[in-house]
């Protein structure tokens, strides 16, 4: 699959903030709640945005990936709260925000500074509290950047994605199906793009090529919005 149009200069002069990878929510010094996100898609999008001429700020969860060429600002974080703080600092005055990270929905209410031990009282009960919704918070800013979300779904992909687009007031959303073998951690993927009043499918290909196609679409929608 080829990207739609050339990336050269498509985002020239624009500040693009991208978050990528998982977050880890610590339970105690040796355990955490996490997810299987590898960060590959978000890093590929950051690479494509840099190729398109953008000034990219990459906010990365705990991943083992090199910074793509042309990106001078990378902020490494671990938890959802740390990612939220980094994103809010970075999006001040940004033109586009792309939320590719798989941010944990919950964290433990009470972190234990010591390792939780087995004992006669049985299995410990972990109380969870909801993490901030970074994507919705950025979309609610005034003024706000052009906001692109991601949705990884196991079923009813289009239905859940459209609901998320409307509920969070996004400009564009990229959705994909995931399970034990598809999407997360793989080197390839496919995306359904959804925006208010329309949609398009990007067929299965490498994440590098998919990211180029996605960035080309983001650039087209961003410039169309500016000149509407």
202-213 pLDDT per residue, tens: 998 999 999 999
Are the C-beta atoms of 51 and 7 separated by less than 8 Å?
A: yes
Catalytic residue among 35, 131, 176, 189: 35
189 is catalytic: no
DSSP-derived 3-state class of residue 16: strand
The answer to whether position 116 is within a domain reads no
Residue 49 lies in a domain: yes
CATH number at residue 49: 3.40.50.10300
Reported pTM: 0.92
* Structural domain includes residue 26: yes
Q: Residue 114: helix, strand or coil by DSSP?
A: coil
Interval 170-186: pLDDT, tens: 999 999 876 554 546 67
pLDDT 10s digits, 75-126: 999 999 999 999 999 999 999 999 999 999 999 999 999 999 888 878 889 9
Contact 128, 109 (CB under 8 A): yes
Q: Is residue 144 part of a domain?
A: yes
- How many domains is the chain built from? 1
* Torsion, CA 149, CA 43, CA 131, CA 28, rounded to 10: 160
Kindly state whether residue 185 falls inside one of the protein's structural domains.
yes
Average pLDDT over residues 150-165: 82
Block residue for tokens 């990612």:
83
| Enclosing domain of residue 86 | 15-106+129-226
Residues 36 and 24: their CA atoms lie apart, in Å, by: 10
């Amino acid at each position: 699959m080829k990207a739609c149009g050339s990336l050269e200069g498509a985002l020239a002069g624009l500040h693009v903030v991208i978050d990528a990878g998982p977050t880890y929510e610590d339970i105690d010094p040796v355990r955490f709640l996490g997810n299987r996100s590898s960060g590959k898609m978000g890093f590929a999008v950051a690479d494509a945005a840099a190729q398109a001429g953008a000034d990219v700020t990459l906010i990365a969860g705990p991943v083992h990936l090199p910074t793509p060429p042309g990106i001078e600002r990378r902020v490494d974080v671990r938890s959802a709260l740390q990612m939220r703080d980094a994103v809010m600092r970075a999006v001040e005055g940004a033109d586009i925000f792309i939320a590719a990270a798989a941010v944990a929905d919950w964290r433990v209410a009470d972190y234990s500074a010591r390792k939780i031990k087995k004992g006669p009282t049985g299995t410990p009960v972990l109380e969870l509290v909801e993490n901030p919704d970074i994507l919705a918070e950025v979309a609610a800013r005034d003024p706000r950047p052009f906001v692109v979300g991601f949705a990884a779904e196991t079923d009813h992909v289009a239905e859940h994605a459209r609901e998320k687009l409307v509920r969070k007031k996004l400009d564009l959303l990229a959705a994909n199906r995931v399970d034990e073998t598809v999407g997360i951690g793989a080197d390839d993927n496919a995306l359904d793009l959804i925006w208010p009043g329309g949609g398009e499918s990007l067929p299965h290909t490498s994440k590098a090529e998919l990211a180029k196609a996605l960035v080309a679409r983001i650039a087209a929608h961003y410039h169309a919005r500016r000149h509407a």
